[in-house]
Amino acid sequence: MQAGSLAVAGALVGATKASGSMETLIPGMKREAMTAPVSVRALRSGFSVLENTGGNITVFNGTDATLLVDSGIAEQHAQILRALEAMQKAPVCEVVNTHWHFDHASGNPWFREGGARLTSHENTLKHLLVPTTVRPWHYTFEPIQAVGRPTNLLKGDSSLEIDHERASIHFVQHAHTDGDLLVHFEHADIVSTGDIFWNGHFPFIDYDTGGSIDGMIRATEIALALSTMNTIFVPGHGSPASTTDLAEYQAMLRDARGAVADLKSKGHTQAEVVAARPTARFDSKYGTYAVGPDDFVALVFEGV
């Protein structure tokens, strides 16, 4: 797949549309995941993406072992496993969690029970161990069961070698959360970004667990520094993307931050800044998924 063919191809599988509020997002995703299909998108030799109701799952099918970036949403267990079984050459031996959110890590128990090692930043485990509330979602997540807890805990950057492929892992501090990891498959020239990148969508920023708008922008800088013009980016949500797609997303983040910060510095309240529609020129492209324009402006306002 060439970089030029990686423009946003349409709505996500099971896309939950923005409705002006994130309050009902989590129950809706959980219900949808019970019956929604999982699709497989081939990338390059040995690499695919499972597109599902939760976050994208990057799959590297090696000769002797399979590596996953993220484990998906628990309610979609059966569909995810069926999709893997249809394509898998070898058992899943490694799962890397890009962060702690339920749509990226609640599938951990199935893979650990199957013999896989679970890798994450140590801050990801911290949130998985206790009830964790995300205020904008009006939802408290219960601790993950013991079998789903990552055991290979990272404090910073690291790497994995599997089947002649090197996966370099980069810790991005205080971006989407406080435990975000980027996974760069160096030989394949593929970068799995987790939720620091939502291709074609405004992102969620989890301030309750250490996220920040400035960290999100820094994260895109790190990701772009890893790239060539042929790099395929697997975002947390949205279709596989090119370097150009990520650069445009970065420009949107910077523009939104600057516009919101300017209005806030002049004494405008959050409600006034939201009403001013500082992201209006981006809304039609980025504002039709889980985080609507008003939600995104409110998130940026909190961080500037």
For residue 131, tell me if it sits in a domain. Answer: yes
The bridge status of strand 117-121 relative to strand 152-154 is parallel
pLDDT surpassing 90 at residue 166 = yes
CA distance 171 to 143: 23
CA distance 190 to 4: 14
Closest among 246, 198, 242 to 221, alpha carbons compared: 246
CA distance 182 to 61: 19
Mean pLDDT of 130-135: 96
CA distance 57 to 40: 10
Query: Please, which pLDDT band fits residue 2 given cuts at 50, 70 and 90?
Result: very low
The answer to whether 106 and 78 have CB atoms below 8 angstroms apart is: no
The two structure tokens encoding residue 14: 């099971």
pLDDT of residue 24: 79
pLDDT surpassing 70 at residue 19 = no
For residue 28, tell me if it sits in a domain. Answer: yes
Predicted confidence (pLDDT) per residue in 207-216, tens digit: 999 999 999 9
Closest among 139, 171, 176 to 153, alpha carbons compared: 171
pLDDT surpassing 50 at residue 14 = no
For residue 219, tell me if it sits in a domain. Answer: yes
pLDDT surpassing 70 at residue 174 = yes
Q: What percent of the chain has pLDDT over 70?
A: 93
For residue 281, tell me if it sits in a domain. Answer: no
Predicted confidence (pLDDT) per residue in 275-289, tens digit: 999 999 999 999 999
Question: C-alpha angle 16/291/237, rounded to 5°?
Answer: 65
Q: First-to-last CA distance in the chain? A: 38
For residue 262, tell me if it sits in a domain. Answer: no
Provide the domain limits for residue 175: 13-242
User: Number of helices (H) and strands (E), helices first, in the chain?
Assistant: 10, 14
**Total domains, the chain:** 1
Containing 293, the helix (H) or strand (E) segment is: helix 293-303
Find all residues with CB under 8 Å of 162, minimum gap 6, and list them: 60, 62, 65, 67, 93, 94
Query: Please, which pLDDT band fits residue 66 given cuts at 50, 70 and 90?
Result: very high
For residue 301, tell me if it sits in a domain. Answer: no
For residue 266, tell me if it sits in a domain. Answer: no
The amino acid that residue 259 corresponds to is A
Closest among 102, 86, 93 to 177, alpha carbons compared: 102
Mean pLDDT of 47-72: 94
Q: For residue 98, give the CATH number of its domain.
A: 3.60.15.10
pLDDT of residue 161: 93
For residue 74, tell me if it sits in a domain. Answer: yes
Mean pLDDT of 19-30: 74
pLDDT of residue 61: 94
pLDDT of residue 21: 57
Query: Please, which pLDDT band fits residue 10 given cuts at 50, 70 and 90?
Result: very low
Find all residues with CB under 8 Å of 14, minimum gap 6, and list them: 29, 32, 33, 36, 37, 52, 53
Query: Please, which pLDDT band fits residue 12 given cuts at 50, 70 and 90?
Result: very low
pLDDT surpassing 70 at residue 71 = yes
3-state secondary structure of 95: strand
Q: Worst-scoring range by mean pLDDT, 4-13, 74-83, 143-152, 224-233?
A: 4-13
CA distance 256 to 217: 11
pLDDT of residue 5: 29
